[in-house]
């Protein structure tokens, strides 16, 4: 079974001169053979395949890590670090490790934090950073550089990069930020500027494609357990009590899925990837009626993006967009609370019924990274530095099948990591919750 493997080409800066990697003299690394990664070291995208199938073409990505030769004179590097979009556990650790990594591994001394997202490039004073300044940032939630949505003016940003002489730009952000980074990368190439640009994907929803998972996701699932236990206690302590928890997940239900599987106190988990319906045979109300009869309580976990199309909107709400251009979601939790109360009022006017709605979003987003995410953020940041130093640009560092690789930015920006409601994990969620199989049930 011969298998042809195509290696994803990485954009790289051409005009720079090769130099010896300072790691050679680093007191801690004294690299032995196999330490430096060569251009032919690759990571296979796909490890699970059908051995009997005729030859299939396979994809591989360049392996992350330090190269024997780098393309920058460390003393000439001027690096900019910027954080965009919503908060996510681990942002401060990534910033810290970019600063400490540039400083300790490559001897870079000009490292600047761009305040408040993309707009910071052209409207705010950059902040000089060094290991001492960022010493204990990994113990703080959020981003000390501050962040914001929107403010993306391509020309102003690239002008600012150029005027300030940044030749390495490290962007930490989600899908909206990535789309912006693609434009910045193209504009820089158009202007033939020798600027290396990389994006470290930040999405607590874990919805970025190709890489194994996004940083902060595991910390978020851990914190979600507190909200689900509280909802479970509130529901159990009431007569016909429903505990309703809204979890992050605009277009993907990974946090809801993982939190449900880890908790096992959840009766129904609703995610954006799966349609559901309320009334009639096989609907949610029928299921909740049965569950309340059996156990007297139920816990409902809903991803923020689930059922959005079912929520009635007035005209202005239909048009509304947030600063990143995303359709403004209505609070599916508040809506669920009202439709559940209306349903019960209609069906059981004289019986007790309470819905306790918990939205733990900010109490989840704002915590520091846990130990696992802290280490993951460190390896992500170092991979990014090694890649930029090697002259690569327009790439995203990330683990593929557990091994760190460099993925073309444009490829990542177009992919989405959706929950596959046909695979084992989602089947096991429904088996753990015994919730209706909305997708199969024909609406009564």
Catalytic positions, written as ranges: 205
Name which position in 9, 14, 17, 27 contacts a second copy (CB under 8 A).
Answer: 27
CA distances from 356 to 30, 47, 248, 387 (A): 59, 44, 18, 48
The alpha-carbon radius of gyration of the chain (Å, integer) is 24
Residue 9 interacts with a second copy (CB under 8 A)? no
Q: To 10 degrees, the CA torsion angle through 217, 218, 223, 226?
A: 120
Which listed range, 30-38, 155-163, 306-314, 338-346, lies at the site for a second copy (CB under 8 A)?
30-38
Among 49, 163, 290, 347, which residue sits at the site for a second copy (rule: CB under 8 A)? Answer: 49
Residues 140-169 close enough to bind a second copy by CB under 8 A: 140-144, 146-148, 151
Other CB atoms within a 10 A radius of the CB of residue 232 amount to: 21
Residue 28 is a binding residue for a second copy (CB under 8 A): yes
| Selected range binding a second copy among 2-10, 166-174, 175-183, 410-418, rule: CB under 8 A | 2-10
Q: Which of residues 237-256 bind a second copy (CB under 8 A)?
A: 237-239, 241, 243
Interface with a second copy (CB under 8 A), residue from 24, 73, 226, 322: 226
Interatomic CA distance for residues 29 and 238, integer angstroms = 60
* Member of 75, 309, 440, 442 binding a second copy (CB under 8 A): 440
Cβ(67)–Cβ(386) below 8 Å:
yes
CB of 48 to a second copy, least distance (A): 5
| Residue choice 229, 326, 415, 418 for contact with a second copy (CB under 8 A) | 229
Alpha carbon distance 382, 191 (integer Å): 28
Is 59 near a second copy (CB under 8 A)? no
- From the list 2, 15, 314, 318, which residue makes contact with a second copy (rule: CB under 8 A)? 2
For a second copy, the closer CB: 190 or 371 = 371
Q: Do 82 and 118 contact (CB within 8 A), yes or no?
A: yes
The site string for a second copy over 94-133 (x = CB under 8 A, - otherwise) reads ----------xx---------xx--x--------------
Determine the interface stretch with a second copy among 20-28, 154-162, 179-187, 307-315 (rule: CB under 8 A).
Answer: 20-28
Q: Scan for tokens 């595991």, then name that residue.
A: 218
Query: Scanning residues 162 to 201, which ones bind a second copy (CB under 8 A)?
Result: none
Q: How far, in Å, CA of 177 to CA of 409, rounded?
A: 11
365 touches 174 (CB < 8 A): no
Q: Which is nearer to a second copy, 282 or 289 (CB)?
A: 282
316 makes contact with a second copy (CB under 8 A)? no
Rounded to a whole number of angstroms, the minimum distance from the CB of residue 295 to a second copy is 12
Residues in 346-405 at the binding interface with a second copy, rule: CB under 8 A: 352, 354, 356, 358-360, 362-363, 365-367, 370-372, 374-375, 378-379, 382, 400-403
CA torsion, ordered 201, 206, 208, 211, to nearest 10 deg: 80
- The verdict on whether residue 282 carries a ligand-binding annotation is no
- Min dist. Cβ of residue 252 to a second copy (A): 16
Alpha helices, DSSP H, located in 366-423: 371-389, 409-413
Residues 201-220 that bind a second copy (CB under 8 A): 212, 218
The closest of 111, 114, 106, 115 to 132, measured between CA atoms, is 111
Residue 121 contacts residue 400 (beta carbons within 8 Å): no
Q: Which residues contact 116 (CB under 8 A, 6 or more apart)?
A: 124, 145, 146, 147, 148, 151
C-alpha distance from residue 339 to each of 277, 285, 346, 361 (Å): 12, 10, 10, 22
Residue stretches of the annotated binding site for Mg(2+): 175
């Amino acid at each position: 079974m011969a298998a042809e493997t195509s290696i994803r080409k990485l954009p790289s800066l051409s005009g720079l001169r090769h130099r010896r990697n300072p790691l050679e003299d680093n007191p801690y690394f004294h690299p032995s053979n196999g330490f430096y990664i060569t251009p032919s070291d690759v990571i296979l995208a796909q490890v699970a395949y059908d051995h009997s199938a005729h030859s299939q073409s396979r994809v591989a990505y360049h392996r992350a890590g330090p190269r024997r030769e780098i393309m920058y004179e460390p003393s000439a590097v001027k690096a900019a670090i910027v954080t965009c979009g919503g908060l996510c556990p681990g942002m401060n650790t990534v910033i810290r490790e970019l600063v400490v990594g540039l400083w300790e591994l490559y001897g870079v001394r000009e490292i600047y934090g761009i305040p408040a997202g993309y707009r910071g490039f052209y409207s705010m004073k950059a902040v000089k950073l060094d290991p001492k300044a960022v010493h204990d940032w990994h113990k703080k939630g959020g981003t000390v550089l501050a962040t914001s949505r929107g403010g993306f003016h391509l020309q102003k940003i690239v002008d600012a990069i150029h005027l300030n002489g940044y030749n390495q730009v490290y962007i930490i952000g989600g899908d909206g930020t990535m789309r912006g980074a693609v434009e910045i990368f193209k504009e820089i190439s158009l202007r033939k500027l020798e600027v290396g640009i990389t994006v470290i994907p930040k999405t607590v929803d874990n919805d970025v494609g190709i890489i194994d998972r996004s940083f902060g996701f595991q910390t978020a699932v851990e914190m979600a357990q507190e909200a689900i236990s509280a909802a479970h206690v509130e529901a159990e302590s009431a007569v016909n009590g429903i505990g309703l928890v809204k979890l992050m997940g605009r277009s993907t239900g990974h946090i809801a899925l993982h939190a449900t599987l880890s908790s096992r106190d959840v009766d129904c988990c609703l995610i954006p990837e799966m349609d559901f319906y309320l009334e009639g045979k096989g609907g949610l109300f029928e299921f909740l009626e049965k569950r309340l009869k059996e156990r007297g309580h139920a816990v409902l976990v809903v991803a923020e993006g689930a059922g959005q199309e079912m929520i009635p909107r007035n005209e202005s709400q239909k048009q509304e967009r947030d600063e990143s251009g995303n359709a403004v979601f209505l609070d599916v939790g508040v809506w669920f609370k009202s439709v559940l109360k209306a349903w019960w009022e209609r069906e059981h006017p004289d019986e007790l019924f309470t819905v306790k709605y918990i939205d733990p979003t900010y109490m989840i987003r704002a915590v520091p990274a846990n130990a696992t995410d802290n280490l993951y953020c460190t390896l992500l940041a170092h991979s990014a530095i090694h890649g930029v130093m090697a002259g690569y640009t327009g790439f995203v560092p990330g683990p593929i099948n557990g091994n760190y690789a460099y993925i073309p930015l444009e490829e990542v920006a177009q992919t989405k990591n959706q929950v596959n409601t046909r695979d084992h994990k989602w089947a096991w969620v429904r088996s753990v919750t015994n919730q209706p199989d909305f997708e199969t049930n024909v609406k009564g």
